[in-house]
Amino acid sequence: MSRAGQRPAELATVLAQAASFGGPAVAFEVVHRTREHLTTPLAMPAESDWAGICRETLVFDLPSAGFRVHTGFAESPASTMAGLGSLDARPCAGGFSYQGTASLNPRFLYDSSRDHELLLSVGEKPWRLDHTDSLLMTRIMAELAAGAASDETRSPILLLQSPVAPFRNWAKWPENQSGEPPKIARGAAIRLSVGVDGDNGEGRLALIGETVRIAREYGLQLHLGDRRLGRVRGEWKGAVQFAPDRYAEKRGEVEAAPGDPGQAMLVTFVGPARVGSSASVLEALAKSGVGVLAVTMASLQELAFINLVVAVPPGSTPRPPREDQRVQPAVDGVNWLAAVCGESGEALTVPRAIDYQVCLTGPVPWQADTEYKAHPLWLQWHAPVSKHEALTVIDDVILELLRSDIVSDAQLDYCRSRMTGDGRICSAKVSVRLVSGIAEDDLPDKLSVLCRATQAEVEWKRTTQDPDGRSVGLKVAWRERWLGRVRSTGVV
């Protein structure tokens, strides 16, 4: 919930943050890497100029590449108030590391407990975007972001991510008594979380109405997060049914090079979080004919990170950015992308992200996971802020999953670590591919046993390894909604 008008409260909050964490500036690192060089994120690099430890982390892994975003408090304030300071590109194995500083942004504060979640998907279609799909997805996300920033809603985007696990039709499983069929890990779906002010009922209705319009316009399936009393995250209510003919019609209106992109650019826009910044970036890319294959947008310590996998048109031979072009102002960055990955035309602007900078890596080889049939497992655990090894829980979970007789592969898809007072709460999603020969009717029971066994084994190991014998309160579930209802012992 944005509270831009409450300046005394804003300043008090900023002062409290600075006093609690040691300074008024944020240090951050963005890492772009190809898949073979991705490792589980642990803590901030020792060579970085951090005061203390990593405060927030965002991880987004894909079949061919991935992103790592870390933030902490810098020892010295950035050069400008509520803006970016220095930002440098450094080569690393399989990509580049971008390290910079920024001042705290007192104009962007929100209450994430009042967020509203929306899930739009191309039916239950597995995630495999050709160049035409990528252009269509850019337009859809630009309209969604514009709807959140409209005069009626004026709300920040807390999370925008694709691919994600789409909703599956329960009616297809009448004999399944578990209440929900297993999902696919990565689908042609967009998940959006918007922080609408609880007192802004008209804005909330305007957002839902605009999202319904977009879903019907493009033939998408739409589900709304069920926030009624007693409901938890991961429970959805259907609003619009998938219309495959309409989606095919919209695809036919797109002029694009046929085929699958063989290369992609890894792109991150970073700057002070504000309402409308992501809309400015996405609208410019949509206007210039740039296709987005995957995205994750989030705010960490009041800084916005817009991470995009941009499609290189099939048959194109792009030039990599020069060394002095790897970090550019946002306006120069979108025009560079338009010339290399889109249709170079009139000069583009990004009015709400004019002070942002863009990090460019690539082109990198790109191949969607068309044959990777996996199911998602959701994780949640807690750790003290001072624990550098908090995210190694993911390593333990994946290692334990790979020891199972029914698991052939396990990969990290997404991870978020956030500050909560003197501790941190961590959540993640892991894609698990099972061995062949398991009947679909047996999947719920197999996945339930796998989650309980993995959770119990990792909890036991972490407790025995901790000098104080403390539990991390790990929860592992193949239904996201179970994280809000399952105890750390695995009992619903």
The region, left, alpha or beta by phi > 0 then psi within -120 to 50, assigned to residue 362 is: left
Q: What is the pLDDT of residue 76?
A: 61
Strand order in the sheet with 115-126: 236-240, 221-225, 115-126, 187-195, 157-162, 292-300, 303-312, 263-272, 357-365, 327-329
**DSSP state at residue 352:** G
Q: What is the pLDDT of residue 199?
A: 72
Q: Tokens standing for 318?
A: 């792009």
CA distance 42 to 59: 11
Q: What is the pLDDT of residue 35?
A: 83
Q: What is the pLDDT of residue 46?
A: 47
Least Cα distance to 110 among 3, 249, 226 occurs for 3
Q: What is the pLDDT of residue 265?
A: 96
Cβ atoms of 385 and 51 closer than 8 Å: no
CB pairs under 8 A, 24+ apart, for 170-178? Answer: 175/441, 176/441, 176/444, 178/444
Please report, to the nearest 10 degrees, the dihedral formed by the alpha carbons of residues 463, 469, 470, 476 taken in order: 10
CB atoms within 10 A of CB 201: 10
User: What's CA 165's distance to the chain center, in Å?
Assistant: 12
pLDDT in tens, the chain (492 residues): 444 444 555 555 555 555 444 456 888 999 999 988 876 554 445 445 554 567 888 999 998 899 999 888 776 655 544 567 778 999 988 899 999 988 766 555 454 447 789 999 998 888 889 999 999 999 999 999 999 999 988 889 999 999 999 987 665 554 445 567 888 999 999 999 998 876 778 888 999 999 999 999 999 999 998 777 667 788 888 899 999 999 999 999 998 888 889 899 999 999 989 999 999 999 999 999 999 999 999 999 889 999 999 999 998 888 889 998 999 999 999 999 999 999 877 889 999 999 999 999 989 999 876 655 899 999 999 887 666 577 888 999 999 999 999 999 999 999 998 877 778 889 999 999 999 999 888 898 999 999 999 999 999 988 887 767 677 889 999 999 888 765 544 444
**DSSP state at residue 37:** G
Q: What is the pLDDT of residue 1?
A: 43
Cα separation values, 15 from 21, 422, 461, Å: 10, 17, 40
Q: What is the pLDDT of residue 162?
A: 95
Scan for tokens 């991870």, then name that residue. Answer: 415
CA distance 24 to 104: 6
pTM for the model stands at 0.90
Q: Tokens standing for 59?
A: 């991880």
SS3 339: helix
b/e code 331-353 from CB counts within 10 Å (16+ = b): bebbbbbbebbbeeeeebbbebb
CB atoms within 10 A of CB 79: 13
DSSP string, 393-414: HHHHHHHHHHTSTTEEEEEEEE
**DSSP state at residue 149:** T
